[in-house]
Structure 1
């Protein structure tokens, strides 16, 4: 089982108070969603989220070389974007 709170590093953009409030709210919703996935209350499983953001269904035994991170974009898009060159969601 993945430790949902330790897999992803958070990359807060401390440029404006309003952005920090939004990012904090998003992290709260993100953690609640991961908990729902972990408890099978969502159609998606934790391994699906990990696979989307890292192309790996399991965390390596020794951890990732580059820790997966959540990066906040503050654009108009409503859906998450994954980076194909680095484990960034």
Structure 2
């Protein structure tokens, strides 16, 4: 009887290590990133918009998406924080 359940147990363990554990790790990294947000961080929203943080609150942040245009965004909708000093790609094809 134990031999019949062994493949099922192996599938559950495999599913845990391939699906659940990496997702939990990504969630922890995302939460740590959100808790470290500060003014003047350049962020990428889940919609693809890029802006600069001008105000940080508990669950929301104020993001300046253009000069003089500030929108309130829920913190969980921030997908990435760009590092300061990140080199911008060149627009010309000079070698």
TM-score of the pair, normalised by structure 1: 0.33
Q: Which has the higher helix share?
A: 2
Bigger Rg over Cα: 2
Higher strand proportion = 2
TM-score by length of 2: 0.31
